[in-house]
Amino acid sequence: MSNHTEPDDSWQEKIFSILKQGDVRQIAYVPDAGHAHVIRRAQADPDIREVVLTTEEEGVALTSGAWLGGQRAVLLMQSSGVGNCVNMFSLLQSCRFPFLTLVTMRGEYAEFNPWQCPMGQSAQAAMELMGITVLRASTPEDVPELVAAGIDAAFEGGQQVAVLLSQRLIGRKKWESKK
């Protein structure tokens, strides 16, 4: 059987299309397999500046600076990175910056790595405690509407929003040994 490739109408492609339609001009990220499709599409698009971060909290500052400079930016991160951002989330509240992050979840469904569990199980509560509205996509059908709603709430409504992409949506992860 041949290797499975994602169709162009996959939920990942829909995320990228919605970001483009929402006039997102910058995408900040720490490399993550769950966001790989959107990252590759951003890298190939001359209208989008993609910025690799050394740590996720830099993305909070980058998205804030983009807004001050007249552009919309989105932070892509994994749930483990939410813990790195908690202190920087106060910037969003203090300055009332719009904010949108798309978070691939770990530490939930069929997690094999115990290090992922504490933050994966606390990410939503941590963001809510910091005043961020959390939307959760659990099926491919959820994704387009929730990402579009997040863009509107953030950039039209001035809110801080996180769209969580459930681990079940992303799929099981497994350790792979290299020989």
Return the closest-CA partner of residue 53 out of 69, 41, 39.
Answer: 39
Q: Is 8 in a helix, a strand, or coil?
A: coil
Q: Give the right CATH number for 11-169 from 3.30.930.10, 3.40.190.10, 3.30.1540.10, 3.40.50.970.
A: 3.40.50.970
Whether residue 178 has pLDDT greater than 80: no
| Selection from 128, 130, 138 nearest residue 165 by Cα | 138
Cβ atoms 141, 111 nearer than 8 A: no
Q: What percentage of the chain has pLDDT greater than the value 70?
A: 85
Q: How far apart are CA 108 and CA 71, in angstroms?
A: 34
The per-residue pLDDT for range 10-39, each reduced to its tens digit, is 999 999 999 999 999 999 999 998 999 999
Q: Where are the domains of the chain?
A: 11-169
Q: What is the pLDDT of residue 172?
A: 65
Task: For residue 26, give every residue at least 6 positions away whose Cβ sits within 8 Å of its Cβ, in sequence order, or none.
Answer: 48, 49, 50, 51, 62, 63, 66, 71, 72, 73, 74
Confidence of residue 119 (pLDDT cuts 50, 70, 90): confident
Q: What amino acid is encoded at 65 in this protein?
A: G
CB 29 within 8 A of CB 58: no
pLDDT tens-digit profile of 85-114? 999 999 999 999 999 999 998 767 666 666
In this prediction, residue 120 has a pLDDT band, given cuts at 50, 70 and 90, of confident
